[in-house]
Amino acid sequence: MSSWWCEYAWLPPGMVAARVLVGTEAGRITTVEPDADPSPGSSILRGLVLPGLANVHSHAFHRALRGRAQAGRGDFWVWRDQMYSLADRLDPDNYLALARATYAEMALAGITCVGEFHYLHHAPGGVRYADPNVMGHALIAAARDAGVRLTLLDTCYLHGGFDIPLRGAQRRFGDGDAMAWAQRIGSLQKDSPRTEAKPTEANGTGANVKHGVAIHSVRAVSPDEMAAVVKVADERKMPLHVHLSEQVAENERCMARYGRTPTRVLADAGVLRHGCVAVHATHLTDHDSALLAASGTGVCLCPTTERDLADGIGPAGDFAARGIALSLGSDSQAVVDLFEEARAVELGERLASHRRGHFTAAELLDQATVNGHRALGWADAGRLAPGMRADLVAVDLESPRTAGCGATAEAVVFAASAADVTDVVVDDRQIVRDRTHLGIPAIGRALEHAIAALRR
């Protein structure tokens, strides 16, 4: 048994308490006592302590595009050309180095769990590696080294557009057909939990990896092929994610091809359900939103990416009013800061509606914590409560950004940045202390090296 004494802690159902003693055993929280003194041997966490943050939508390799895809006026084609050119240069070794450093950056930002929407499966030209899951294994190793939990969302990506074959760098994404995709991930998911399990180090929480599946989009997977992905998700009770209506052009082409919206196509193919997460959902009709709500599908918003790519502002307030569970993702890694994503949900609504006051800070923090973990299949994480995983994230309340704001959820969501996270504990194991990652101390240098190696 051990304990963490928190100067302040954000406790369910959304209140801040002072002097909170969090007892832990076997990687889980056993007791939460406000207004308590530290026990002998308690580790002290200053500032406001939150549950772990969950980054529900990540493409780790896009980290190498930060600051580069903005060249010139940084139009969409600059971004897309750079993304495909980068995708063509990755191999299992440099992918591991880049993902490890990227996940370490996430750990420093208080992210304890990441959902990787993984479609870079094969060698250039679509040739299979000797181990056809070597790229997925690189991501699993990267998360383990960075000390964060991972939900590996193995993505089915079979076409370059509606009835258009994969071309160029896209050929690395494709398995040929849905059956081949299902066979490949069958072997990944069979051997991974045993061979890739994180040593439990006296905590009983087990592996740091869960598996999930994803449909890249209605452009890249036909309705018949979607059925194969749904079958795998159903059989193994895994999370199922899908990019949905990120841009208007997808809707227009989908209407031209199927005479239905992308949401309707997904609904008709049986994709929408509890455990399904639609990523972006930026351009939906009222009827589309009703389909998501009625089916229990969640939505992952990625506001910093959506604004970087000029996608638009999704109807977050409308989703929440319909009872759709919202979660957050850093997606393209233009920014890795879930506080920025959280406040952008409210601030985007304000810009779109010319009105303040759509979400409370507590609701936004729920999106970044408990909702995010649920969307990734970790229902036992994201709250500081007995029985939950012992993930703790301390936020400095005396930084130039947060000083004078008070010990409140509002201070974290509307004033703090990722740089204000001082300490991070995952499954009762400290991975960040005093803003330093204990396993990968020089993360800036690791990112620099990993990205420089790709640009040679």
Name which of 208 and 305 has its Cβ closer to Zn ion.
305
Name which of 66 and 350 has its Cβ closer to Zn ion.
66
Name which of 331 and 366 has its Cβ closer to Zn ion.
331
Residues 76-95: b if buried by 16+ CB within 10 A, e if exposed: eebbeebbeebbebbebebb
| Active-site residue identified among 137, 280, 358, 373 | 280
Has 331 been annotated as catalytic?
A: yes
Q: Which residues pair with 299 in a beta bridge?
A: 278, 326
Sequence-separated (6 or more) residues with CB below 8 Å from residue 73: none
Question: What residues numbered 278-337 form the site for Zn ion, per CB under 5 A?
Answer: 331
Instruction: Determine the residue with CB nearest Zn ion.
Output: 331
Compute the least distance from the CB of residue 302 to Zn ion, in Å.
7
Q: Is 114 exposed, middle or buried (0-12, 13-18, 19+ CB in 10 A)?
A: buried
Largest CA distance in the chain: 68
**19 φ, ψ (degrees, to nearest 5):** 50, 65
15-25 vs 2-11, strand pairing mode: antiparallel
Compute the least distance from the CB of residue 280 to Zn ion, in Å.
8
| Active-site residue identified among 331, 423, 427, 428 | 331
Rounded to whole angstroms, the Cα distance separating 392 from 406 reads 19
Name which of 51 and 115 has its Cβ closer to Zn ion.
115
**345 φ, ψ (degrees, to nearest 5):** -60, -45
Q: Determine which helix (DSSP H) or strand (DSSP E) holds 284, and give its type and residue range.
A: none
Contacts for 358-362 with beta carbons within 8 Å, 24 or more apart? Answer: 358/316, 358/317, 358/320, 359/316, 359/317, 359/320, 360/14, 360/409, 361/408, 361/409, 361/410, 361/412, 361/413, 361/414, 362/14, 362/409
With both helix axes pointing from N to C terminus, report the angle between 178-195 and 223-236 in degrees, rounded to the nearest 10: 20
Q: How remote is the C-alpha of 55 from its chain's centroid? A: 3
Compute the least distance from the CB of residue 143 to Zn ion, in Å.
18
Compute the least distance from the CB of residue 139 to Zn ion, in Å.
15
Residues in the chain: 456
* DSSP helix/strand/coil, 199: coil
Name which of 306 and 428 has its Cβ closer to Zn ion.
306
* DSSP helix/strand/coil, 235: helix
Number of residues that bind Zn ion (CB under 5 A): 1
Tell me the three-class secondary structure of 315-364, residue by residue: CHHHHHHCCCCEEECCECCCCCCHHHHHHHHHHHHHHHHCCCCCCCHHHH
Q: Which residues pair with 23 in a beta bridge?
A: 3, 31
Name which of 331 and 340 has its Cβ closer to Zn ion.
331
Q: How far is CA 226 from CA 145, 155, 223, 371, in A?
A: 33, 11, 5, 25
Name which of 198 and 280 has its Cβ closer to Zn ion.
280
Q: Helical H runs in 359-415?
A: 361-368, 370-375, 409-414
Name which of 331 and 428 has its Cβ closer to Zn ion.
331
Q: Is the sign of the CA dihedral 323, 324, 330, 334 positive or negative? A: negative
Q: Which residues are catalytic?
A: 280, 331
Which residues here bind Zn ion, judged by CB under 5 A?
331
